[in-house]
Amino acid sequence: MTDTGDYSEVSQLRTRCTILESQIQVLEKQNSELKHKLVHIHPDTISSTEKNIAYKEVPNVGKFPVDYTTLGPDDGDFRL
């Protein structure tokens, strides 16, 4: 009986991962389309700030913008 339970959990996780990957693709496409529209609306503003964005590469995940200006001093506490 535990074999079917394990299989069911693995199957559910795979399904969730597939759904999330699909959602990521849709969001990346939407983001690209929005950036394209913004460049046409505000070409001077967008093109100049786009060059100044620094990215951090996370292995097996992707690139994320690095913006430390929104972070306060880190005291090591995880509470919000």
pTM for the structure as a whole: 0.46
pLDDT of residue 71: 61
- Per the DSSP assignment, residues forming a β-bridge with 54 are 66
Amino acid at 65: P
Which residue would you say has higher pLDDT here, 75 or 47? 75
- By residue count, the chain amounts to 80
pLDDT tens digit sequence for 10-63? 899 999 999 999 999 999 999 988 888 877 777 666 654 555 667 778 888 877
More confident residue, 4 or 30: 30
Instruction: State the pLDDT at residue 60.
Output: 83
Q: Say if residues 63 and 57 touch (Cβ distance below 8 Å).
A: yes
Name the 3-class secondary structure at 2.
helix
Which pLDDT value is given to residue 48?
47
